[in-house]
Amino acid sequence: MSPRQHGLRLSDAGLTYADGQVALSGLNLSVAAGESIAIIGPSGAGKTSLLHLLASHLRPSSGQVELLGQAPWALPGWQRQQLRSQIGLIQQGSALPARQRVVTAVLAGKLGQWSMGKSLLSLVYPLDPEGAAAALAQLDLADKLYQRCDQLSGGQLQRVAIARVLYQQPQLILADEPVSAMDPLLASHTLGVLNEYAQQHACTLLASLHAVDLALAHFSRVLGLRDGRIVFDQPARCISPADLTALYANEQLQAAHSPAVVAPSIPRQVPRC
């Protein structure tokens, strides 16, 4: 079976950090190749830990993880690196070097697939500026090709990070709050670009989102995570206001007593299945 026909699977997977903190516990999840899923939940629910587990950056403390038809921690190191080159991780916040040019940042998406010599050469002399410009154009940033990253806004940096993953052309995209620095209109457009890319390339997409309305609008399947456990995993149309209120109970309570805490808005009406 081709790797393109594989998605991912978690079987009773758990993650405990060295200090004893239990980040994830007893997760069972199956995602088909080409499927797109939003992950929602309160702060500290384990969303970032889950994405890093799926990127094979973290090794599960218990259970099994399968990515693109392979068990990453059963592979020799070099094969695990090859697997990672097919996974695009969009990290929360910008991980782009401030003085790096945008073209170099985008082309870095291929570093795991290019040879060492080609990768080093491209860091000095961009080898495919046309390809980088095409990826940026999908996010309305083609005019920023030769600007430095420290000259961009937070929302523009997030779109550059997304363009880097689009240029990478991975089989699995993991996006951790990819639109948190964007206004609602731009965030909606950017999620549309990500979903369109995933559909066109049969690419599996998982995105953690703080904005519940964006998750329900752009993803047909939504995963609710709380205290490191899956609370619900169902079609977006089946999620009720009661489901969301229960998921965010503590955040809603904190928001009511502290102006510094902003809980996500809960849609008043959601069609039932």
Question: What is the spatial distance between Cα 242 and Cα 258, in angstroms, rounded to a whole number?
Answer: 23
**pLDDT (tens digit, 9 = 90+) per residue, 240-250?**
999 999 999 87
Residue 263 confidence (pLDDT): 52
Q: Is 70 exceeded by the pLDDT of residue 96?
A: yes
Supply the pLDDT for residue 5. Answer: 54
Structural domain spans, the chain:
1-86+171-273, 93-169
Task: State residue 112's pLDDT score.
Answer: 83
Helix, strand or coil, per DSSP, at residue 127: coil
Q: Among 93, 104, 181, 94, which Cα is nearest to 148's? A: 104
By C-alpha distance, which of 79, 16, 84, 17 is closest to 54? 84
Task: State pTM to two decimals.
Answer: 0.91
pLDDT digits (tens, 9 = 90+) for 206-252: 999 999 999 999 999 999 999 999 999 999 999 999 999 999 987 65
Q: Is 104 exposed, middle or buried (0-12, 13-18, 19+ CB in 10 A)?
A: buried
Q: Which residue has the higher pLDDT, 120 or 88?
A: 88
Superfamily name and number for 1-86+171-273: P-loop containing nucleotide triphosphate hydrolases (3.40.50.300)
Beta strands 87-90 and 172-176: pairing type?
parallel
